[in-house]
Chains A and B, each alone.
Chain A
Amino acid sequence: MDSATEGAGSETTGKSRHAALDALMCAAQNGDRRAYQALLKEVAVRMRRLVSARAPWLGHADVEDIVQDVLLSLHTARATWDPQRPFMPWIAAIARNRLADHARRYARRQAFDQAANDLAEVFSSTPGQTHAERVVNLMSVRRAMNELTEGERRAFELVRLREMSLAEAADAGKTTVGAMKVAVHRATRKLKRAINRDGTEIE
């Protein structure tokens, strides 16, 4: 499974990268420890990036706690993966579930739900099996972020990511509550369009 192991580490396009992860998981189920190790490392990197970006108030230990939790869950549930199906929706569902549990534990549900939604960005997956084929392109999200005006990006960050109330955000951004509300709404709509055409990923 050396080729699969190398495949996951190299810079490849989204689809072939997903195929490489499928191959790694398939090999892991067959007992290939190197492939399994490479797969776990890849998932750990993605989860760490996701959690750190979306829950910046968490310390390093807390982030690692969540990453390890997802890895343990993957390990426990690895017999439930069907090699005929893609790996991404499977691990995204597990990660979403573990994030939701952590959110309950930390009573920071809002922010973690955002992180769970942002799995689209990290794992390029869709929430349910019915949408499994509709792979979201990370580049489109980045492009959408660039398309936001400075005000919209700022508003989205304050209200959605830092969980400020509209009044607090308006205060911080030196603008009015109404303007803040409109900016958040516009930013959300733009991102929504970019991430998922039917708009299930954000909001």
Chain B
Amino acid sequence: MNTEELIDTLARDAGPVRPLPTPARRVLGWLFVALGFAAAMVWAIGPRPDLAERLTEARFLFEQGAALATAAAAAMAALALTLPDAARFWRWLPVIPGAAWLGTLGLGCLRDWAQMGPAGLRLTPDPECFAYIALIGSLPLLVLVLMLRRGAALRPSWTLALAALAAAAVGNFALRLFHTQDAALMVLVWQVGAVLLIAGVAALCGRSVLRWPGVPT
């Protein structure tokens, strides 16, 4: 097909399109779905018996708040990166809540060590963390990928990594509402580790999941 024919075809097929809402508005929609699914999973698996008590602890609330803020910031960054004229700094948006999340867990490690000595920093295998985070993050990630595909695949690796970070952070947020594991080092290594691993794997898949249609990679 020559270019003139292509232009005619595109122009003939082009109906009205509604400009995408702002990333902030789209993130609110995504959070609604993601947290709804997470709540349903927590309800299905059964919340931890000491949840009411945990919800009165500032440390627990802060860690959960930071995880949720990281999820929201990462989702917003991913959505913004699919807008061609968005500024490049968007990709760094999750850095501040992410640093707060890691920071509070790091401080938790120190506190556990101060309170319990070496026993507070014991690291035992906790593989189900990964499975739960992946399971609870799956639907939010799918929804977010569908939303991202309405945008332009300009930076696919970054975009998908941020999307996976957002979804996995929601998974981790939900996990802590039913999984009785509060040792900061365990959370840091197995749970945050799982979140980062999922984001890293997603970065490698970016180009095959998010692409310009009709264009070979």
Contact = CB atoms under 8 A, between A and B. Distances in A.
Interface of A: 28-31, 33-34, 36-37, 40-41, 44, 48, 64, 67-69, 71-73, 75-83, 85, 89-91, 93-94, 97-98, 101, 105, 128-130, 132
Main secondary structure of the interface of A (DSSP, over half): helix
A68 B151 contact: no
B3 A33 contact: no
A101 to B, nearest CB: 7
Contacts of A31: 14-16
Contacts, number: 104
B214 A72 contact: yes
Contact of A36 (B10, B83, B88, B152): B10
Tier of interface size on chain B: 20 to 34
16 contacts: A29-B16, A29-B18, A31-B16, A36-B14, A48-B3, A69-B212, A69-B215, A72-B212, A78-B14, A80-B82, A80-B83, A80-B151, A81-B85, A94-B152, A98-B215, A105-B216
Contact of A97 (B20, B150, B154): B154
Contacts of A89: 84-85
A71 B7 contact: yes
Contacts of B215: 69, 72-73, 98, 101
B12 A44 contact: no
A72 B216 CA distance: 13
Nearest to A48: B3
B3 A79 contact: no
A129 B81 CA distance: 12
B10 A75 contact: yes
Interface of B: 1-3, 6-8, 10-12, 14-20, 82-88, 150-152, 154, 212-216
A119 to B, nearest CB: 13
A85 B85 contact: yes
Given A80-B20, A80-B84, A129-B86, A73 B152 contact: yes
A9 to B, nearest CB: 14
A34 B216 CA distance: 30
A181 B3 CA distance: 40
Given A81-B19, A101-B215, A130 B87 contact: yes
A44 B6 CA distance: 11
A201 B29 CA distance: 38
Contacts of B214: 72
Contacts of A40: 7, 10-11
A198 to B, nearest CB: 15
A59 to B, nearest CB: 14
A105 B217 CA distance: 8
Nearest to B14: A36
